[in-house]
Amino acid sequence: MLSFLNRKAAIFTFAAIATLQIADLGPANRAFAADDPKAVKDEDGKYFDAKGNPTYSIKPDGTVDWFTYSGYRRYHSECHVCHGPDGMGSTYAPALLDSLKHLDYEKFQAIVIEGRQNVGNGNEKVMPSLGLNKNVMCYLDDIYVYLRARSDDALGRVRPGKRENKSQATIDAEKACLGE
């Protein structure tokens, strides 16, 4: 079992790896999900909005970018047990479709990495820290992009039928993050 300091170091290491997958964003460039999600920049198939946050790209024929598709897969393998199918919530955890209307990208990352606990009125809700879970941390942007598309009603409650291909840069980043 990791000591407290080693655990914190591991969390920060995984957070750094996930963050390095996107451009360096200063506080002035952070956006709220409610901001315009329109993709204005494409880096090897990864899309960013005007404020530099990862976002989705869905073509008129329904083709989604690789990261939205991957986010669907990762969300349903790691998150839906608590947060319900397609981010719609459950009696156990809140609807992330609603949460992303209020959370900026940085806060979303912090909650996933560090976890969160809300206690009050005899009701305790705990989001565990997932900062050591490579199946989440290596795909954190993907999960965010998928939930952002769902939150904006740009993507329905179905597995995306068509997707863009995964770029070589994405394959390489995934292997590096997973330690392959």
Query: What is 53-112 written as a DSSP string?
Result: -EE--B-TTSPBPHHHHHHHHHHHHHTHHHH-GGG---SSS--HHHHTTT-BHHHHHHHH
pLDDT of residue 137: 93
pLDDT for position 20: 40
The pLDDT of residue 167 is: 94
Block means of pLDDT (10 residues each) for the chain, 180 residues, are: 44 44 37 65 90 92 95 88 77 78 89 83 77 92 93 87 94 93
Residue type at position 107? K
Tokens standing for residue 150: 């769902």
Indicate the pairing of strand 116-120 with strand 54-55: unpaired
Residue 65 is predicted with a pLDDT of 95
Spatial distance between the Cα atoms of 52 and 109, rounded to a whole number of angstroms: 15
Beta bridge partners of 64: 58, 163
Residue 22: its pLDDT value, please? 35
Q: Give the pLDDT confidence score for residue 64 in this predicted structure.
A: 95
Q: Where are the domains of the chain?
A: 4-178
